[in-house]
Amino acid sequence: MINSSNLKRGYILELDGAPWLVTEVSFQAPSARGASTLTKAKVKNLITGAVLKKSWRGGEMLAEADCEKREIQYLYSDGSEYHFMDEESYDQFSLTEEVVGELSGYMLDGMRMRSMLYNGEVVSIELPSTVELEVVDTTPNLKGATAQAQLKPATLETGLVVQVPPYLENGVKIKVDTRDGRFIERVK
């Protein structure tokens, strides 16, 4: 059980018989004497992907979901499903496009990541915070461009499109933040 006053981003709660990931948390101080602090959170259902805003009174006890994280390896995609291997048991499993979603743009064959199991079934995957991907298509650098911080679109080897600085060219490996799709740096 978790006290609502101690709730943090990343916790997984059991609400209505399903696992919900806490994605945002804020605390609202009472405006009247005797009122309790409110905990407001945005939660995402790990099975359906639904997002809700919930609030609890300070000190309210919340149930933690019985989830387990396991190291996995991404093997390949056959077009409709993504295939993975559990690195502990070597069991292979597949996830649909709906479960993987936009994370597929960051995944390369052989990449290691984590899976989230709820009641023994994989409900989501968790990528490393950064990945290194190669730029396969971007516009050439413009000579005489202004010194202002400009960005241009670049297509990466997985098909993902990110905004990069104008000096980057095709064939360069870059580091990308998987949480927001932001360019971090050129890989040396």
pLDDT for the residue numbered 135: 92
Tell me which of 149 and 156 has the higher pLDDT. Answer: 156
Residues 6+ apart with CB under 8 A from 124: 21, 46, 99, 115, 116
Task: Provide the percentage of residues in the chain whose pLDDT is more than 70.
Answer: 94
Q: What is the residue-averaged pLDDT of the chain?
A: 86
Same fold for the domain at 67-126 and the one at 130-186? yes
**Quick one: which of 99, 110, 103, 44 has its CA closest to 75?**
110
Mean of the pLDDT values across residues 48-77?
Answer: 88
Q: Write down the pTM of the prediction.
A: 0.70
Q: Which CATH number fits domain 130-186: 3.90.1150.10, 1.10.40.30, 2.40.50.140, 2.40.128.130?
A: 2.40.50.140
Q: Answer yes or no: is pLDDT of 35 > 80.
A: no
Distance CA 103, CA 54 (A): 26
Q: Does the pLDDT at position 144 exceed 70?
A: no
CATH number of 67-126: 2.40.50.140
Range 33-45 average pLDDT: 82
